[in-house]
Amino acid sequence: MKVAVVGATGMVGQVMLSILAERDFPVTELIPVASEKSVGKEIDFKGNKYKVVNLETAVKRKPEIALFSAGGETSLEWAPKFAEAGTTVIDNSSAWRMDPTKKLIVPEINAEALTEDDKIIANPNCSTIQLVLTLKPLHDKFKIKRVIVSTYQSITGTGVKAVQQLESEYNNEKAEMAYPYPIHKNALPHCDVFLENDYTKEEMKLTHETKKILNDDSVLVSATAVRIPVVGGHSESVNIEFENDFEISDIKQILKDFPGITLQDNPTVNVYPMPIYAEGKNDVFVGRIRKDHSHPRALNMWIVADNLRKGAATNAIQIAEYLLKVNA
């Protein structure tokens, strides 16, 4: 099993390597891939050293699976070349997510939609993954009409430059700016670029990707995405309106029973999800579940997940694990 990790020296690529090792994915040969400036560097993986190669070399080595986390332009150019060589590409960028010919997969929800013909598989946006994982079982039971979500997103979603900016500002040092404003002691209502409708690209990803993964265009989604000076993961405040009546006890039980979700909901003893707890874990954590006192068929909840793990690397590797299982 030859596995290429494209973007192996980046934040998500490094987490992909860690999770491949943690989950004992059957890698017989690792092909770490990065930009030309990193070619020749050595990557340690499970006690062995592998040299970083460029994309052209990686394609020629014909890996069975290529995990991509190197940006949309790289994916658009190179994912088809890997696919033509017989490689199954699992892509973490936004390049293929809304392509109607490509599957957008969260394994606990829709992995069964995959076939052997799917050579380029899209990994959803980090904030979308943790949202839809909680929405899916509730939609199946009570039929969701509308979702209003506000995200509080970790700087790690931006990358190393943002982490360096926060650290520099914290230490009162001059920072190379990943954001248009300071992030230390601040909150920026600005994730990704602004679009013509005055929403950001991140906010519209939440809207469009949720509909595609749930396979239901009738679900209305309105999002506001905020960047905060946190490292451990993304948090989301979510209001859900249902078509059908529900009991909070049933909501909690449904979420508790759904794979990949950990319920943390006991406010009387201050138990609720936080990024400081979610960091380094693969589950999505849900709590603060309560009736919306302004609407008889709506509720509020709080969702947290490590955006580099379930929001990116873990989800991609779970897709690869599913492909291995069904093709065994």
pLDDT > 90 fraction of the chain, expressed in percent and rounded: 98
- Average pLDDT in the 161-189 region? 96
Classify the phi-psi angles of 102: left when phi > 0, otherwise alpha if psi is within -120 to 50, otherwise beta: beta
Give the model's pLDDT for residue 327. Answer: 83
Q: Give the list of residues 6+ apart from residue 262 with CB closer than 8 angstroms, or none.
A: 283, 284, 285, 286
Give the model's pLDDT for residue 28. Answer: 95
Q: Which two tokens stand for residue 261?
A: 């979700």
pLDDT, tens digit (0-9, with 9 covering 90-100), for 2-14: 999 999 999 999 9
Give me the domains of the chain, ranges plus CATH numbers.
2-124+312-327 (3.40.50.720), 127-307 (3.30.360.10)
Report whether pLDDT(194) > 90: yes
- Is the whole-model pTM more than 0.95? yes
Report whether pLDDT(175) > 90: no
Report whether pLDDT(257) > 90: yes
- Do the beta carbons of residue 287 and residue 265 sit within 8 Å? yes
Q: What is the mean pLDDT of the chain?
A: 97
Give the model's pLDDT for residue 318. Answer: 98
Q: How confident is the model at residue 67 (pLDDT cuts 50, 70, 90)?
A: very high
Report whether pLDDT(253) > 80: yes
**291 phi and psi angles, rounded to 5 deg:** -65, 145
Q: How confident is the model at residue 162 (pLDDT cuts 50, 70, 90)?
A: very high
Q: How confident is the model at residue 122 (pLDDT cuts 50, 70, 90)?
A: very high
- Average pLDDT in the 19-39 region? 96
Q: Which two tokens stand for residue 184?
A: 């230390």
**107 phi and psi angles, rounded to 5 deg:** -50, -40
Q: Is 295 assigned a catalytic role?
A: no
Report whether pLDDT(328) > 90: no
Q: Is 191 assigned a catalytic role?
A: no
Q: Which of 139, 191, 208, 234 is catalytic?
A: 234
- Average pLDDT in the 31-60 region? 96
